[in-house]
Structure formats: structure tokens, C-alpha cells
């Protein structure tokens, strides 16, 4: 049994939410592995952007430019249909969300052979989804006040009936929380699944389990990135709509 648990079973315990490198800055813990992985993901996004920018042409676009243009066109179309013509302003935000979350979700696919992974998905840590949700919700409320005026913004909480005020307030509070935990929960579960596969399967079956799981995890990662960007656009659209209900 000792041989089995030491050699054939990869790990005996599943550790959750552990960060191998943490430092204290101004009395707050900073998860260095998450910071490192998100910086790598940010570098990838920016590198893709600046590589495209160097060769950008109004003639026949290259593959990279075509990728950016397609994304721009698709997200622009969604933004325009949800928010209106002024929705084009939010395309960089939505594109940034989609691409950055996508790369963050996919970065954990790279197996470092270490436990914990050298490149954990930064989205599997609550801090990054929360940071993005805070930015999004701040922009939603800011643009809502800009579009409706302060009076219109507060009046909206009393619609359709004043009795709905508590529900409307709760809805606005839950928006950033659901936005955060939808992404975090999905990717965290995906990472946890890898740990479960590693821990529970015999070691010679671990690669098979990962081969099956990781494409699915990539699929989930893409879906979650899209959902986050889409919900951002929808929240902005709802917040900026001036139609009477």
C-alpha cells in the first residue's frame, strides 16, 4: 500500500487555494504565482496587439490582423446591437476582457510538471475576476449616470414600481458578485478537476485523464471569456438604456 500511495497514486491529498509564493506588501498578502501568470497572459495579449499594429494595413490583412479584425467586428456588432451606435466605445473594453480572460484561462493548459503549477490560471484566483468585475461595474454605473442623468439613474431603482427598490438594489449588488464568481468558479473547478485527476487516478492514467479533460477545460475557458465580455456589454446596455419600462 505504501508503494501504491507513494508511486502509483500521484498525490495523496488535494490542496485547494494554496499559493506556493506569497509575499506581504503593506500588510496584504500578494499571490506571486497569480501575479506572474497574469503578467505573462497580459504580455501575450499586448504582444499579439503590438505585432499586429506593426504590420497593420488597409490592404489584404495578414492572419494576425484578420484575427483582430474579426474579433473587433464581432464584438463591435454585439456592442452595437445591445447598446446602440455609442456601443462602439466599449469595444476595447470588451475585447480586452475577452482576450485577457481567454489567455488567462488557457495558460494553465501548459503543464509545468510542478505541483502547484508554475502557470496557474490567474482567473482561478478570486482576485483577477473581482478586479475585472469592479472595473466593469464601475463603468456600468458611471455610464448609466452619464446617459440618464443623476435623477434618471436613481429613479431607475424605483421602476417599474417603488416597491421593487430592494430587489433592484440587490440586483445591482449581485451583478459584480455573480460576474466574479461565475468566472472564478468555472476556472477554479477546471483547475480542481486537474488536481482530482492527478490525485485519484493511477499515475499511468493521469496523462489520459488530462488529455480528455484539458480540451474540455479550454472549451470552458473560451465560453467563460465570451460570457464575461458579453455580460459586460449587456450590463452596459441595460444601464445606459433610456427607454421607459
Partner 1 sequence: MRTSAEIFLLPNGTFFVEFAVFVFIVFALTKWIIPPINKAMEERQTQIRTSLEAADVARTQAAAADTERRAALDEGRRQAGEIIAQAQSDRSSIVEEARREASEAAALVTVRAEASMNSERASALASLRREVGTLALTLASKVVGESLADDARARATVDRFIADLEAQANGASN
Q: Which residues bind partner 1 (CB under 8 A)?
A: 15-18, 24-26, 28-31, 34-35, 38-39, 42, 45-46, 49-50, 52-53, 56-59, 61, 65, 68-69, 72-73, 91-93, 95-96, 100, 122, 125-128, 130-132, 134-135
Q: Which helix (H) or strand (E) holds 24?
A: strand 22-25
Nearer to partner 1, 190 or 206 (CB): 190
Residue 171 C-beta: closest distance to partner 1, Å: 22
Report d(CA 81, CA 214) in Å as an integer. Answer: 34
Report d(CA 83, CA 96) in Å as an integer. Answer: 18
Residue 192 cell numbers, joined:
480542481
Residue 243 C-beta: closest distance to partner 1, Å: 28
Nearer to partner 1, 13 or 150 (CB): 13
Residue 208 C-beta: closest distance to partner 1, Å: 29
Nearer to partner 1, 43 or 203 (CB): 43
Report d(CA 79, CA 66) in Å as an integer. Answer: 19
Nearer to partner 1, 32 or 205 (CB): 32
Residue 28 C-beta: closest distance to partner 1, Å: 3
Check if the beta carbon of residue 222 is closer than 8 Å to that of residue 123. no
Check if the beta carbon of residue 124 is closer than 8 Å to that of residue 187. yes
Chain center to CA of 242: 29
Amino acid at each position: 500500500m505504501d508503494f501504491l500511495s507513494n508511486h502509483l497514486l500521484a498525490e495523496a491529498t488535494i490542496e485547494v487555494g494554496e499559493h506556493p509564493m506569497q509575499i506581504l506588501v503593506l500588510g496584504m498578502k500578494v499571490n506571486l504565482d497569480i501575479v506572474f501568470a497574469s503578467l505573462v497572459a497580459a504580455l501575450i495579449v499586448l504582444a499579439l496587439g503590438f505585432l499586429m499594429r506593426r504590420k497593420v494595413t488597409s490592404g489584404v490583412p495578414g492572419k494576425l490582423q484578420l484575427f483582430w479584425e474579426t474579433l473587433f467586428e464581432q464584438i463591435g456588432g454585439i456592442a452595437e446591437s445591445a447598446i446602440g451606435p455609442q456601443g462602439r466605445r466599449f469595444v476595447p473594453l470588451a475585447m480586452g476582457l475577452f482576450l485577457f480572460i481567454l489567455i488567462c484561462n488557457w495558460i494553465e493548459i501548459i503543464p509545468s510538471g510542478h505541483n502547484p503549477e508554475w502557470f496557474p490560471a490567474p482567473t482561478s484566483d478570486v482576485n483577477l475576476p473581482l478586479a475585472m468585475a469592479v472595473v466593469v461595474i464601475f463603468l456600468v454605473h458611471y455610464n448609466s449616470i452619464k446617459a440618464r442623468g443623476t435623477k434618471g439613474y436613481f429613479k431607475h431603482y424605483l421602476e417599474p414600481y417603488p416597491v421593487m427598490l430592494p430587489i433592484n438594489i440587490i440586483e445591482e449588488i449581485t451583478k459584480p458578485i455573480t460576474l466574479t464568481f461565475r468566472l472564478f468558479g468555472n476556472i477554479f473547478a477546471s483547475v480542481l478537476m486537474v488536481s482530482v485527476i492527478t490525485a485519484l487516478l493511477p499515475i499511468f492514467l493521469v496523462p489520459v485523464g488530462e488529455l480528455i479533460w484539458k480540451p474540455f477545460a479550454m472549451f470552458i475557458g473560451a465560453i467563460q471569456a465570451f460570457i464575461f465580455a458579453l455580460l459586460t456589454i449587456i450590463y452596459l446596455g441595460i444601464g445606459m438604456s433610456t427607454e421607459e419600462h
